[in-house]
Amino acid sequence: MTTQELTISNFEDTVSAEGIVLVDFWAEWCGPCKAFGPVFEQSSEQHQDIVFTKVDTEANQELASGMQITSIPTLMAFRDGVLVFSQAGALPAPALEDLISQVRGLDMSEVHAAIAAAKAEAQAE
Protein backbone atom coordinates (compact mmCIF):
# COMPACT_ATOMS: atom_id res chain seq x y z
CA MET A 1 0.00 0.00 0.00
CA THR A 2 1.38 3.39 -0.85
CA THR A 3 1.50 6.10 1.75
CA GLN A 4 -1.14 8.80 1.85
CA GLU A 5 -0.33 12.51 1.99
CA LEU A 6 -1.89 14.23 4.98
CA THR A 7 -2.76 17.91 5.15
CA ILE A 8 -4.60 20.01 7.70
CA SER A 9 -7.85 19.28 5.84
CA ASN A 10 -7.71 15.47 6.13
CA PHE A 11 -5.49 14.94 9.19
CA GLU A 12 -8.16 14.71 11.89
CA ASP A 13 -10.47 12.40 9.91
CA THR A 14 -7.56 10.10 9.09
CA VAL A 15 -5.99 9.78 12.55
CA SER A 16 -9.33 9.48 14.35
CA ALA A 17 -10.39 6.46 12.29
CA GLU A 18 -10.44 2.96 13.74
CA GLY A 19 -7.31 0.91 13.36
CA ILE A 20 -3.65 1.89 13.25
CA VAL A 21 -2.43 5.03 11.51
CA LEU A 22 1.28 5.86 11.28
CA VAL A 23 2.22 9.46 10.48
CA ASP A 24 5.68 10.43 9.25
CA PHE A 25 6.39 14.17 9.58
CA TRP A 26 9.18 14.99 7.11
CA ALA A 27 10.69 17.61 4.81
CA GLU A 28 12.45 17.36 1.45
CA TRP A 29 15.64 19.01 2.73
CA CYS A 30 15.97 16.64 5.73
CA GLY A 31 18.67 13.98 5.31
CA PRO A 32 17.40 11.65 8.06
CA CYS A 33 13.89 11.98 6.55
CA LYS A 34 15.23 10.79 3.20
CA ALA A 35 16.93 7.85 4.92
CA PHE A 36 13.74 6.89 6.78
CA GLY A 37 11.43 7.28 3.76
CA PRO A 38 12.30 3.94 2.10
CA VAL A 39 12.03 2.11 5.45
CA PHE A 40 8.55 3.60 5.94
CA GLU A 41 7.50 2.75 2.37
CA GLN A 42 8.73 -0.85 2.64
CA SER A 43 6.84 -1.30 5.89
CA SER A 44 3.68 0.02 4.23
CA GLU A 45 4.00 -2.76 1.65
CA GLN A 46 4.25 -5.39 4.40
CA HIS A 47 1.37 -4.13 6.55
CA GLN A 48 -1.65 -3.66 4.32
CA ASP A 49 -3.98 -3.30 7.33
CA ILE A 50 -2.20 -0.18 8.62
CA VAL A 51 -2.67 3.30 7.18
CA PHE A 52 0.74 4.84 6.44
CA THR A 53 0.71 8.61 5.99
CA LYS A 54 3.18 11.43 5.49
CA VAL A 55 3.02 15.12 6.37
CA ASP A 56 5.34 17.46 4.48
CA THR A 57 6.18 19.91 7.25
CA GLU A 58 7.19 22.62 4.78
CA ALA A 59 3.87 22.52 2.93
CA ASN A 60 1.86 22.01 6.14
CA GLN A 61 3.55 24.27 8.68
CA GLU A 62 0.32 25.01 10.55
CA LEU A 63 -0.35 21.29 11.02
CA ALA A 64 3.23 20.57 12.08
CA SER A 65 3.09 23.43 14.57
CA GLY A 66 -0.27 22.28 15.90
CA MET A 67 1.15 18.80 16.49
CA GLN A 68 4.17 20.36 18.23
CA ILE A 69 6.69 18.98 15.75
CA THR A 70 10.07 20.46 16.70
CA SER A 71 12.36 17.93 15.03
CA ILE A 72 12.04 15.79 11.93
CA PRO A 73 11.53 13.11 11.05
CA THR A 74 8.93 12.55 13.74
CA LEU A 75 6.84 9.40 13.73
CA MET A 76 3.44 9.25 15.39
CA ALA A 77 1.25 6.21 15.85
CA PHE A 78 -2.48 6.45 16.40
CA ARG A 79 -4.72 3.54 17.25
CA ASP A 80 -8.48 3.91 17.23
CA GLY A 81 -8.08 7.69 17.30
CA VAL A 82 -5.66 7.75 20.24
CA LEU A 83 -2.08 8.98 19.94
CA VAL A 84 -0.09 6.07 21.41
CA PHE A 85 3.45 6.92 20.23
CA SER A 86 5.40 9.99 19.18
CA GLN A 87 9.15 10.16 18.69
CA ALA A 88 11.58 12.22 16.68
CA GLY A 89 14.33 10.48 14.76
CA ALA A 90 14.61 8.00 11.93
CA LEU A 91 13.90 4.44 13.00
CA PRO A 92 15.75 1.50 11.48
CA ALA A 93 13.50 -1.17 9.95
CA PRO A 94 13.68 -3.57 12.95
CA ALA A 95 12.69 -0.78 15.36
CA LEU A 96 9.74 0.20 13.15
CA GLU A 97 8.61 -3.44 13.06
CA ASP A 98 8.92 -3.62 16.85
CA LEU A 99 6.86 -0.45 17.22
CA ILE A 100 4.15 -1.88 14.95
CA SER A 101 4.06 -5.07 17.05
CA GLN A 102 3.73 -3.04 20.24
CA VAL A 103 0.92 -0.89 18.83
CA ARG A 104 -0.90 -4.01 17.61
CA GLY A 105 -0.52 -5.56 21.06
CA LEU A 106 -2.05 -2.67 22.98
CA ASP A 107 -5.16 -3.42 25.01
CA MET A 108 -7.17 -0.40 23.95
CA SER A 109 -9.69 -0.84 26.77
CA GLU A 110 -6.78 -0.33 29.20
CA VAL A 111 -5.57 2.69 27.19
CA HIS A 112 -9.03 4.27 27.25
CA ALA A 113 -9.35 3.56 31.00
CA ALA A 114 -5.97 5.22 31.66
CA ILE A 115 -7.00 8.27 29.62
CA ALA A 116 -10.30 8.53 31.52
CA ALA A 117 -8.46 8.23 34.86
CA ALA A 118 -5.97 10.93 33.88
CA LYS A 119 -8.79 13.27 32.81
CA ALA A 120 -10.66 12.64 36.09
CA GLU A 121 -7.48 13.33 38.10
CA ALA A 122 -6.81 16.55 36.16
CA GLN A 123 -10.37 17.75 36.80
CA ALA A 124 -10.06 16.98 40.52
CA GLU A 125 -7.00 19.20 40.89
Q: Which residues contact 11 (CB under 8 A, 6 or more apart)?
A: 55, 63
How far is residue 98's CA from residue 117's CA, in Å, rounded to a whole number?
Answer: 28
d(CA 50, CA 103): 11
Catalytic residue among 15, 33, 50, 90: 33
DSSP designation for 16 = T
How far apart (Å, rounded) are the C-alpha atoms in residues 105 and 120?
26
Catalytic site residue 30? Answer: yes
Catalytic site residue from 20, 22, 30, 55: 30
Catalytic residue annotation: 30, 33
